[in-house]
């Protein structure tokens, strides 16, 4: 039986939760149209433009508009809304000129390296300044506003307060003991609130510390670091954990509900879909990178795991 989220967040003191940058203002010019991968979660709240900022045109050309393209699809964020971008997901971001953000990037993972919040795609909600034309139902709207206020409070702690239209951001490198205690307390409320919001929206869950079995967590962490096709490295894992193949497979079935090979295949499938969506490597290069026998083997494996050919997946993501 899956433990309730409250139980999982009771273990938050065992997690690694670190904000590493925050600012209020206009993002730098280079960030307005770029491809980025941040080693953590990224939060943005889009300020409502002042009348003097409003420009002609529609879509992402007007201040207060953002478009995010990830392997899961395209997400639009309007003025007054917030977005939480999943952990270490590569995205093409298009930010309209003149857009003002409250921004925070942070890491939140269990000791195994597994991200605490498993989000299927960027999570979007309405902030306190969202227009009435963007209503969310009762309790969900209230929860969304509380989440935005928590991030504003965190940004107040990590740096001096700045006017919403200030174009200068500030990077957070060090914290005093008091700041650290305040940030931890705010994040301890923020993470469960976001998890509950994501669960209600059907877009994510709290992961828990993976399996609760430290040796198995070490194996899965090692697997994620070097995803490759072919035989699993049981000899290396035996040296790492002191457990043989049969013992590790029994642990995986008991704690994960899958075999280690099945877990590897899902992780490898997701990584390949991500790389195909980026379009920076050819199928042949991906085949070699992940140690498939050849490009034909790679294509057969991808079709078996996804129902689509590598070419079709690349076109789907375009």
| 178 vs 284, residue with greater confidence | 284
Q: Residue 293 pLDDT > 50, yes or no?
A: yes
Q: pLDDT value at position 288?
A: 94
Residues 79-110: pLDDT tens digits?
988 999 988 788 899 999 888 888 888 877 77
**295: Cβ–Cβ under 8 A, 6 or more apart, which residues?**
283, 284, 287
The CATH number of the domain covering residues in 5-206: 2.60.120
What distance in Å separates the CA atoms of residue 14 and residue 12, rounded to the nearest whole number?
A: 5
Instruction: Determine if the pTM surpasses 0.85.
Output: no
Neighbours of 172 (CB within 10 A): 21
For the chain, the structural domain boundaries read: 5-206, 214-317
Q: pLDDT value at position 210?
A: 55
User: What is the average pLDDT score of the chain?
Assistant: 77
Q: pLDDT value at position 166?
A: 41
| 53 vs 314, residue with greater confidence | 314
pLDDT-derived band of residue 296, with 50, 70 and 90 as boundaries?
very high
pLDDT-derived band of residue 36, with 50, 70 and 90 as boundaries?
confident
Beta bridge partners of 41: 106
Residues 211-246: pLDDT tens digits?
567 788 788 878 877 889 999 999 999 998 999 999
Side by side, the strands of the sheet bearing 66-70 are 33-36, 91-95, 66-70, 73-77
What distance in Å separates the CA atoms of residue 66 and residue 78, rounded to the nearest whole number?
A: 7
Question: Across residues 50-54, what is the average pLDDT?
Answer: 53
pLDDT-derived band of residue 138, with 50, 70 and 90 as boundaries?
low
Beta bridge partners of 103: 23, 44
Query: CA-CA distances (angstroms) from residue 112 to 20, 207, 292?
Result: 20, 12, 27
Beta strands in 47-144 (DSSP E): 66-70, 73-77, 81-85, 91-95, 101-109, 117-119, 123-126
Q: Which of 10-14, 16-20, 116-120 has the highest mean pLDDT?
A: 116-120
Q: Is the domain defined by 214-317 classed in CATH 1.10.10.60?
A: yes
Helices (H), the chain: 5-9, 138-158, 177-201, 214-225, 234-241, 245-255, 260-278, 283-289, 295-306, 310-317
CB 64 within 8 A of CB 48: yes
- Domain 5-206 and domain 214-317 have a common topology: no
Q: pLDDT value at position 51?
A: 54
């Amino acid at each position: 039986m899956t433990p309730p989220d409250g139980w999982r967040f009771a273990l938050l003191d065992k997690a690694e939760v670190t904000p590493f940058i925050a600012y209020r203002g206009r993002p730098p010019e280079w960030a307005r149209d770029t491809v980025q991968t941040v080693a953590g979660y990224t939060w943005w709240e889009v300020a409502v433009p002042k009348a003097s900022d409003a420009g002609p045109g529609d879509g992402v050309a007007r201040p207060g508009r953002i478009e995010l393209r990830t392997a899961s699809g395209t997400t639009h964020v309007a003025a007054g809304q917030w977005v939480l971008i999943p952990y270490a997901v590569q995205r093409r971001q298009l930010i309209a000129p003149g857009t003002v953000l409250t921004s925070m990037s942070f890491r939140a993972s269990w000791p195994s390296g597994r991200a605490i919040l498993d989000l299927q795609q960027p999570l979007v909600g309405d902030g306190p300044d969202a227009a009435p034309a963007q209503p969310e139902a009762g309790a969900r709207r209230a929860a969304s506003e509380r989440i935005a206020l928590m991030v504003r409070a965190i940004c107040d702690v990590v740096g001096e307060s700045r006017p919403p239209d200030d174009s200068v951001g500030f990077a957070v490198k060090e914290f005093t003991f008091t700041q650290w205690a305040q940030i931890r307390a705010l994040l301890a409320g923020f993470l469960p609130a976001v998890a509950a919001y994501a669960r209600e929206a059907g877009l994510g869950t709290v992961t828990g510390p993976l399996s609760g079995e430290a040796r198995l967590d070490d194996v899965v962490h090692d697997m994620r670091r070097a995803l490759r096709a072919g035989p699993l490295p049981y000899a290396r894992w035996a040296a790492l954990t002191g457990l043989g193949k049969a013992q590790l497979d029994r642990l995986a079935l008991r704690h994960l509900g899958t075999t280690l090979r099945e877990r590897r295949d899902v992780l490898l499938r997701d990584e390949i879909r991500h790389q195909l969506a980026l379009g920076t490597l050819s199928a042949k290069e991906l085949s070699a990178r992940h140690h498939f026998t050849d490009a034909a083997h790679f294509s057969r494996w991808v079709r078996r795991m996804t129902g689509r050919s590598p070419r079709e997946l690349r076109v789907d993501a375009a």
